[in-house]
């Protein structure tokens, strides 16, 4: 459930944590299901995601990120800055039976900023539908 300052997504994936971690931390795989990037799984690494610009949102199509925390294969946190956003994305993996419970939290939205409210709505829908489905498809295709 999301609230005005944070998006929270809970997804069960029928794959072991090591496989889910690989999809989250391999730059090519991450680019396949999320966005093209220059990610490296190293604390302190600064990287970017590239997507379509949205001038009406004051977003040039580049998300500037930094790996804030890396606890393989349990937790990863990124600074996520783009347009008017200065937020944090946290991935938490919990083994569950033969699969993994994946928690995503995207936090730090300003509910008083109209641009951030619109961005929140776009990202909330994207994380819950498109990204979730694309990650599941990428994982299903991996050996």
Kindly list the distances between the CA atom of residue 55 and the CA atoms of 34, 52, 65, 83, in Å, as whole numbers in the listed order: 21, 10, 20, 9
pLDDT of residue 58: 87
What is the pLDDT of the chain when averaged over all its residues?
95
Distance (Å, rounded) from C-alpha 122 to C-alpha 13?
Answer: 23
pLDDT of residue 2: 58
Across the strands, what pairs with 104?
A: 9, 91
Tokens encoding 56: 């009406």
Cβ atoms 23, 139 nearer than 8 A = yes
Distance (Å, rounded) from C-alpha 54 to C-alpha 123?
Answer: 13
Cβ atoms 109, 88 nearer than 8 A = no
In percent, the amount of the chain with pLDDT more than 90 equals 92
Q: 45-91, pLDDT tens digit by residue?
A: 999 999 999 888 889 999 999 999 999 999 999 999 999 999 999 99
The mean per-residue pLDDT over the stretch 4-26 comes to: 97
Distance (Å, rounded) from C-alpha 135 to C-alpha 64?
Answer: 21
The mean per-residue pLDDT over the stretch 35-39 comes to: 98
pLDDT of residue 44: 98
Q: Is the pLDDT of residue 105 over 60?
A: yes
pLDDT of residue 11: 96
């Amino acid at each position: 459930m999301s609230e005005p300052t944070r998006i929270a997504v809970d997804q069960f994936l029928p794959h072991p944590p090591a496989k889910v971690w690989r999809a989250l931390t391999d730059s090519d795989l991450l680019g396949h299901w999320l966005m093209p990037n220059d990610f490296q799984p190293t604390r302190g690494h600064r990287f970017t995601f590239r997507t379509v610009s949205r001038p009406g949102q004051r977003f040039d199509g580049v998300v500037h990120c930094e790996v804030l925390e890396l606890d393989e294969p349990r937790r990863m946190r990124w600074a996520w800055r783009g347009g008017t956003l200065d937020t944090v994305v946290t991935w938490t993996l919990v083994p569950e039976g033969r699969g993994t419970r994946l928690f995503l939290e995207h936090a730090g939205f300003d509910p008083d900023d109209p641009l951030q409210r619109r961005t929140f709505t776009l990202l909330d829908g994207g994380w819950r539908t498109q990204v979730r489905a694309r990650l599941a498809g990428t994982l299903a295709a991996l050996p």
